[in-house]
């Protein structure tokens, strides 16, 4: 790897490892100190490596530096407290040694994942903190990912850290009975995290892909651990693999969205499709049928390009089940699209008109598509309505292209 | 919006059907329920009730097998929907595959609020 590629890569992977281990060693109340020491470590690396070149084992260099900085920090704290406060803020028990062994890194990351995805913190803040501490994203990048400013992100992270402190969230694996309930929140966060990358309006496709890959990496952490290697976790990872397999085929060289029907399936990542199939198979080794199972099932059928009756009947069935479990406008719209494929456009129009999602541009886009070739004048009216509701350039472009096709 | 219980009443509910027929009914039921759920109007997909192994209990400890001894009609299941009126709920009920049985019926009852 070339030097200019190596550093950002190392920053991402090693930042998250060091930050997780330090958070774990210091305790949740010192989460910011852990982040600061990690940042300082990378700053030191940047200063030193620029002049002296990259050391033979960069990760070991970073670990040694982080360890020294942590030790120095605690010596200073201890001196301060011995002399001024007269007591130790950090008990010797909580700070013995910074253990950067592979096992402790994995354990710490997993425990931090559970701590960050605490039900007391709003989902957006959970994702923000996860991006910062578990994925090593800079504040700029997080702000870009959420299409917002640095200040908003800083405030959001600040409040989230406060909340973790107030709730005295422990950095540890929840106990047996608690784990299932907490795992639910962790999976929701990872699901939203992935979608943030997959569906976001962010122009930078490298950033979006990184978000998806990081969400997958964290989900994989759960699978590597015996306690959390549960069926619905495998289903979620299968879903992510299937979706991510189309990443390269979704945008043209100008960065414009290519719709599913127009995608070159040779660009679909076969390896990810195979991985997805593997995890879906793992997920099916029981009777549980979570929403992730259903969504992974749908995503599986989308990896088969050919339009067969079986494909659309299966997708319709899965959307039916998904909606019966939990309503969402997106699922309602997609179900209606599948219905058109199975029962024809007139039947789907009758059901679409009952959805009444009149503030949703996807709703009018769908109606436009359903009326196309049946009544092009009405199709045009629906597309125009969709256009007036669409907010992003990408969405507007997609609608215009459909109108041009009339 | 009010909640309405749709109660499926079957004639000859215990009659045996082929697995293929069962499969078709299940799919039709899912399509029907999916259509209601897509409008965010499905409160509960309720449950189907088995026609086997049932009892009717009457005063004086009289227990009989199944609901079919005196009447051939039996409740086959229920779902709960959300609707503006009983008429709207009845409109939803019209799509149920239960009504393919010529003597079957669906009773629409508003859930009383206290």
The top-scoring range by mean pLDDT among A144-153, A374-383, B57-66 is A374-383
Task: Find chain A residues with C-beta within 8 A of B45's C-beta.
Answer: 324
- Distance, CA of B74 to CA of B52 (rounded, Å): 11
- A380's enclosing H/E stretch is helix A376-389
Q: Do A323 and B42 touch (CB under 8 A)?
A: yes
Window B:33-62, CB contacts with A under 8 Å: 33-35, 37-40, 42, 45
Name residues whose C-beta falls within 8 Å of residue A63's C-beta, 6 or more positions apart in sequence: A18, A98, A100
Asked if residue B72 has pLDDT above 70, the reply is no
How confident is residue A223, by pLDDT bands cut at 50, 70 and 90? very high
Q: Comparing A392 with A58, which gets the higher pLDDT? A: A58
Kindly state the percentage of chain A with pLDDT values over 90. Answer: 51
Say what the pLDDT of residue B51 is.
76
- For A330, which residue in chain B has the nearest alpha carbon? B38
Which backbone phi and psi does A99 adopt, to 5 degrees? -95, 105
Q: Comparing A309 with B50, which gets the higher pLDDT? A: A309
How confident is residue B68, by pLDDT bands cut at 50, 70 and 90? low
Residue A343, min C-alpha distance to chain B (Å): 11
Residue B26, min C-alpha distance to chain A (Å): 10
Residue A147, min C-alpha distance to chain B (Å): 30
DSSP 8-state code for residue A168: T
Domain count, chain B: 1
Mean pLDDT of A159-185: 89
Asked if residue B86 has pLDDT above 60, the reply is yes
Mean pLDDT of A331-345: 96
- Distance, CA of B94 to CA of B87 (rounded, Å): 11
- For A329, which residue in chain B has the nearest alpha carbon? B38
Is A332 part of the contact surface with chain B (CB cutoff 8 Å)? yes
- Distance, CA of B106 to CA of B80 (rounded, Å): 12
Say what the pLDDT of residue A93 is.
43
- Distance, CA of A317 to CA of A325 (rounded, Å): 12
Of B30, B35, B40, the CB nearest to A321: B30
B46-59 confidence digits (pLDDT tens): 888 887 788 889 89
Q: Which of A94-98, A262-266, A381-385, B75-79 has the lowest mean pLDDT?
A: A94-98
Structural domain boundaries, residue B83: 2-110
- The question of ipTM being above 0.90 is answered as no
Computed from CA positions of residues A209, A210, A213, A215, in that sequence, does the dihedral angle turn out positive or negative?
negative
Whichever domain contains B45, its CATH number is 3.30.70.1060
Summary mean pLDDT of chain A: 88
DSSP 8-state code for residue A256: P
How confident is residue A92, by pLDDT bands cut at 50, 70 and 90? very low
Is A88 part of the contact surface with chain B (CB cutoff 8 Å)? no
Which backbone phi and psi does B110 adopt, to 5 degrees? -70, 135
Say what the pLDDT of residue A94 is.
47
- Distance, CA of A345 to CA of A98 (rounded, Å): 63
The top-scoring range by mean pLDDT among A22-36, A195-209, A283-297 is A283-297
Is A335 part of the contact surface with chain B (CB cutoff 8 Å)? yes
Window A:302-331, CB contacts with B under 8 Å: 313, 316-317, 319-321, 323-324, 327, 331
- Cβ A7 vs Cβ A46: under 8 Å: yes
Classify burial at A284, counting beta carbons within 10 Å of its beta carbon; exposed 0-12, middle 13-18, buried 19 or more.
Answer: middle
Asked if residue A354 has pLDDT above 90, the reply is yes
Residue B92, min C-alpha distance to chain A (Å): 11
Q: Do A354 and B37 touch (CB under 8 A)?
A: no
- Distance, CA of A132 to CA of A112 (rounded, Å): 12
Name residues whose C-beta falls within 8 Å of residue B92's C-beta, 6 or more positions apart in sequence: B6, B36, B41, B81, B83
Mean pLDDT of A234-259: 88
Please give the structure tokens belonging to residue A11: 């920053």
Asked if residue B70 has pLDDT above 70, the reply is no
């Amino acid at each position: 790897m070339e030097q200019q590629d190596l550093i950002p890569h190392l920053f991402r992977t090693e930042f998250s490892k060091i930050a997780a281990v330090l958070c774990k060693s210091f305790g949740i109340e010192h989460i910011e100190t852990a982040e600061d020491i990690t940042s300082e470590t990378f700053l030191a690396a940047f200063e030193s490596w620029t002049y002296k070149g990259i050391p033979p084992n960069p990760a070991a260099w970073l670990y040694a530096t982080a360890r020294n900085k942590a030790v120095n920090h605690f010596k200073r704290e201890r001196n301060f407290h011995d002399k001024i406060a007269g007591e130790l803020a950090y008990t010797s028990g909580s700070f013995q040694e910074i253990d950067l062994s592979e096992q402790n890194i994995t354990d710490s990351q997993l425990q931090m994942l559970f701590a960050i995805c605490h039900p007391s913190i709003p989902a957006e803040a959970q994702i923000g903190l996860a991006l910062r501490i578990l994925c090593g994203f800079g504040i700029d990048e997080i702000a870009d990912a959420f299409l917002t400013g640095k200040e908003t992100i800083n405030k959001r992270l600040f409040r989230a850290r406060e909340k973790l402190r107030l709730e005295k969230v422990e950095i540890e694996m929840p106990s047996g009975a608690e784990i299932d309930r907490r795992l639910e929140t962790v999976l929701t966060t990872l699901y939203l995290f992935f979608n943030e990358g997959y569906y976001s309006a962010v122009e930078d496709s490298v950033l979006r892909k990184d978000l998806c890959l990081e969400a997958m990496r964290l989900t994989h952490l759960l699978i590597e651990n015996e306690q959390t290697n549960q069926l619905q976790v495998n289903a979620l990872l299968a879903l992510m693999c299937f979706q991510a397999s189309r990443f390269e085929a979704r945008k043209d060289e100008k960065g414009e969205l290519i719709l599913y029907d127009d995608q070159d399936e040779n660009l679909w990542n076969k390896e990810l499709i195979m991985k997805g199939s593997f995890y879906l198979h793992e997920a099916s080794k029981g009777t549980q049928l979570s929403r992730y199972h259903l969504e992974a099932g749908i995503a599986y059928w989308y990896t088969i390009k050919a339009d067969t009756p079986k494909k659309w009947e299966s997708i319709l069935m899965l959307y039916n089940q998904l909606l019966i479990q939990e309503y969402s406008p997106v699922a309602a719209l997609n179900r209606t699209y599948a219905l058109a494929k199975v029962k024809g456009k007139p039947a789907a129009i009758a059901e679409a008109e009952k959805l009444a999602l009149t503030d949703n541009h996807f709703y009018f886009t769908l109606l436009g598509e359903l009326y196309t070739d049946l009544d092009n004048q009405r199709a045009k009216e629906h597309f125009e309505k969709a256009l007036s509701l669409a907010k992003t350039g990408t969405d507007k472009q997609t609608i215009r292209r459909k109108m041009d096709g009339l | 919006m009010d909640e309405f219980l749709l109660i499926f009443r079957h004639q000859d509910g215990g009659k045996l059907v082929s697995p293929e027929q069962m499969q078709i009914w299940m799919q039709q039921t899912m399509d029907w329920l999916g259509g209601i759920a897509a409008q965010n109007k499905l409160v509960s997909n309720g449950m189907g009730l088995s026609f086997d192994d049932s009892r009717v209990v009457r005063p004086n400890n009289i227990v009989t097998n199944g609901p079919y001894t005196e009447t051939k009609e039996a409740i086959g299941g229920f779902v709960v929907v959300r609707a503006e009126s009983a008429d709207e709920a009845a409109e939803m009920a019209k799509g149920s595959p239960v009504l393919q049985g010529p003597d079957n019926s669906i009773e629409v009852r508003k859930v009383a609020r206290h």
